[in-house]
Amino acid sequence: MLERLNQAMEYIECHLDQQIEVAELARIAVTSEYHFRRLFSALAGVSLSEYIRRRRLTVAGARVLDGEETLLDIAVRYGYGSGEAFARAFRAVHGISPGEARRTGAALYSQQRLSFRLVIEGSSGMRYRIVKKDEFRLVGRKTRVPLVHEGMNPAIVEFLRSMDKETTRSLNELSDQEPQGIVNVADHIDASRAEGTELDYYYGVVTGADVPEGMDVLTVPAGTWAVFESSGPFPQTLQYLWRDVFTQWFPSNPYRSRPGPEISSTRLSPDGTEADAELWIPVERAGD
């Protein structure tokens, strides 16, 4: 898998001045577009689109300082329709306009080329099981929130604070199948998985019961799920569990992620600092 990922990185380097299709990168890596994006962002700590943008502007920055081409020629070479668009993107990465950089020979930001290497980890193992579920419904309250990779998500915290005890009690009574109890659900996550992009967040339960009036419903098609368990500090335990699933478990097992909601449940300690976490990720056999 690492060899194929590095072949995809080589393809990016050879095509920075051309349109790069995720479908072609996924073909090289012998996986789906969806899983390639997910795996890349987990391994690299940055979204695929952001990495490509930074690499393009790193190489473009070297050409700007070199001084042999006009700024407009460089802009066009790297896919910008105008000098103004190029200048905005250049400033966002380098903190200075291309014209200023050329005049002053300023120091620029460099996004290093990524390559993936084997690091011996995973001696502690991971607790997981594979579950096949028929179509089911998630019932609860829904909102739109920005994606936050580490730490508490202020939008989710505010949303949960608005939830009265009666709503939580009523939802708990509806739970009649796995995953049991109140769950947190992320759906329609932006393909880039970039910090700040929006997603649908549900606070609810999995149930076959009649839906109370005023509740939001998400119908989830039948499929296979990988279910992971972990315990430790909250909220880091759940966030690190998600990271470890993509950086350690997927490269070691014959599965890949597929589109669908990600479901988590947490049982907090009395002081709210520790949690037992369970994470449900929709998966399919690699190669299917």
pLDDT at 9 over 60: yes
Q: Please indicate, yes or no, whether residues 10 and 84 belong to a single structural domain of this protein.
A: yes
pLDDT in tens, 69-125: 999 999 999 999 899 999 999 999 999 999 999 998 888 988 888 887 755 454 445
- Residues 148-155 have a mean pLDDT of 80
State the number of CA atoms in the 13 A half-sphere of 83 facing the CB: 8
Q: How far apart are CA 34 and CA 23, in angstroms?
A: 9
Last residue of a domain, one of 73, 104, 135: 104
120 within a domain of the structure (yes/no): no
Query: Do 133 and 92 belong together in one domain?
Result: no
Q: How many helices (H) and strands (E) does the chain have?
A: 11, 9
Q: Which of 104, 136, 165 is a domain's end point?
A: 104
Residues 280 and 179 in one domain: yes
The per-residue pLDDT for 273 is 82
| Encoded amino acid at 101, one letter | A
- The tokens describing 218, both together, are 């998400």
Crossing angle (nearest 10°) for helices 33-44 and 22-29 = 80
Would 153 be classed as within a structural domain?
A: yes
Is the same domain home to 174 and 221? yes
Are 142 and 236 found together in one domain? yes
Please check whether residues 146 and 98 belong to one and the same domain.
Answer: no
Residue 10 included in any domain:
yes
Q: Percent of the chain scored above 70 by pLDDT?
A: 96
Burial readout 261-270 (b: 16 or more C-beta within 10 A, e: otherwise):
bbbbbbeeee
Q: Please report whether residue 243 resides in a domain.
A: yes
List all residues 6 or more positions away from 55 whose beta carbon is below 8 Å from its beta carbon.
12, 13, 16, 111, 113
Could you tell me the residue range of the domain that residue 244 belongs to?
A: 127-285
Q: Which strand (E) or helix (H) includes residue 76?
A: helix 71-77
Residue 217 in any domain: the answer is yes
Q: Are residues 26 and 159 in the same domain?
A: no
- The last residue of one of the domains, among 42, 71, 104, is 104
Cβ atoms 82, 75 nearer than 8 A:
yes
Same domain, 86 and 144: no
Indicate whether 77 and 142 sit together in one domain. Answer: no
Residue 138 and residue 68 share a domain? no
**What is the structure's pLDDT at 82?**
92
First to last CA, the chain: 16
Residues 266 and 162 in one domain: yes
Do residues 274 and 166 both lie within one domain?
A: yes
Looking up residue 277, the CATH number of its domain turns out to be 3.20.80.10
- With a threshold of 0.85, does the pTM exceed it? no
CATH code of residue 65? 1.10.10.60
Indicate whether 151 pLDDT > 90: no
The answer to whether residue 117 sits within a structural domain is: no
Residue 183: strand, helix, or coil? strand
Please give the tally of structural domains in the chain.
Answer: 2
pLDDT digits (tens, 9 = 90+) for 15-31: 999 999 999 999 999 99
